[in-house]
Amino acid sequence: MIKPGWGATLKAVMSGRMLVALMMGFASGLPLLLTGSTMQAWLKESGVDLAMIGAAAMIGLPYTLKFLWAPIFDRYTLPLLGRRRGWLALSQLALVLALLGLSVSNPASSLWGVAFAALLVTFFSASQDIVIDAYRRESLSDQELGFGSAMFVNGYRVGMLLAGGGGLILADLLTFPKMYQLMALFMAVCILVTLFSPEPHEAAGSPRTLREAVIEPFLEFFKRPEAITVLAFILLYKLGDTLASAINVPFYLDLGFSKSEIGAIAKLFGFWATLIGGTLGGIWILRIGLYRSLWLFGFLQMASTFGFVLLAQVGHNIPMLTGVIAVENFTGGLGTAAFVGFMGAMTDRRFTATQYALLSSLMGVPRVILSTPTGWMAGEMGWTMFFLLCTVLAIPGLLMIRRFRHWTPHA
């Protein structure tokens, strides 16, 4: 691989395509917590039963099942704006209306009305995610995917921060309904980004029937000799890091840290460390390529997981907690940049929406399903042995990277 000069790297970093990736990441991250933790606070304030609040997590099901309707976005092109921007603008407009509908519902008098409006928000949000992922893959070159993915993730986290912490603050200053109306306004501004963004070129051989859009992406992917290896790698690459992160807050509390200490350090150092890690990771990928970045970032992720083992031995120590959170979030930003870039590069440009929806759904398995027994495991093994196990679980994913030494992105 020929390493690009710093001039070429800087040109890629400063391109308008990266700004679009950043803004689309913001649009994708904004709705997520509006039907998650922020809505939970609204339900709690309205006197909704705790069991019903817990059951409201099912509202997020469209994010897991989005691959079911993704083929529609590969097959059909709307009359205006093109195949990607047309669907994206329509999804965002529907999302604005769904948020406005949620803002006029009342949890105290009509919980099912709130649930239906929130389900519409998650459905149109998941639909927006499908098209944005496809747009990013098709508008960026293979060399730009790593940094473009990093910009997308950074924007995504800013959107989540606005909807999460910002949403709760705004609800305190205003009301929850007015806060949701303000968030709908932010989403409306995101439509402008879609309207002024260029439409990516449609790949030759794109599906011309719905049958082709549903069946061909699966056939194309599983005919590849590395198909099973790719799926296994997606499951394993961030497994140790994900399992460790799933249960870290109870771990901090067990060591005697207060909620204020955890929250302040996580927000002050964790959030910014993730943004810096993602940005530097994207630049690094431009310089040394995706294959070497996966190795380097995966090793750093494993080292950061071992930091939890050290913290378990040290106990209540603020500087140590700060270091562990900062390093874990920084390396997480690095690894996510390479990981998301890898998934994008593994999609065929003819079926980007469907294949990326499938891969990203698989990416969520460690977070949603495999993380379920982590509390039980930590209780049985103790914190030190649990985090040692998480560190060891990073090794299989690292070893699998060797299988991609001669790998090239799919056209």
The predicted structure's pLDDT at residue 1:
47
The whole-number pLDDT of residue 4 equals 56
Say what the pLDDT of residue 194 is: 94
Orientation angle between helical segments 210-222 and 352-363, nearest 10 degrees: 60
Rounded Cα distance between 316 and 256, Å, is 6
Residues 6+ apart with CB under 8 A from 315: 255, 256
DSSP state of 57: G
Identity at 116, one-letter amino acid code: F
* Contact assessment for residue 131 and residue 84, using Cβ atoms and an 8 Å cutoff: yes
Q: Which of 308, 295, 293 is nearest to 388 (CA)?
A: 308
Q: Which amino acid is at 261?
A: E
Give, as one character, the DSSP assignment of residue 257.
-
pLDDT of residue 411: 44
pTM of the predicted model, to two decimals? 0.76
CB 351 within 8 A of CB 217: yes
Angle at 29 between CA 15 and CA 31, to 5 degrees: 140
For residue 74, give the amino acid letter.
Answer: D
Inter-CA distances, 411 with 18, 37, 152, 327, 341, Å: 21, 39, 21, 36, 14
Q: What is the pLDDT of residue 120?
A: 95
pLDDT by residue, tens only, the chain of 411 residues: 455 555 555 655 666 788 898 899 999 999 988 887 778 778 877 887 767 766 676 787 888 788 888 888 888 889 888 888 999 999 999 999 999 999 998 888 888 888 899 999 999 999 999 999 889 888 887 777 777 888 888 888 889 888 877 888 888 888 889 999 999 999 999 999 999 999 888 776 777 888 888 888 888 888 888 888 888 888 888 888 888 876 777 788 788 887 777 777 776 777 788 888 888 887 888 777 778 888 888 899 899 999 999 999 998 898 998 898 888 888 888 888 888 888 888 888 788 888 888 887 776 665 556 666 777 788 888 889 989 999 999 899 888 888 777 655 554
Residue 61, SS3? helix
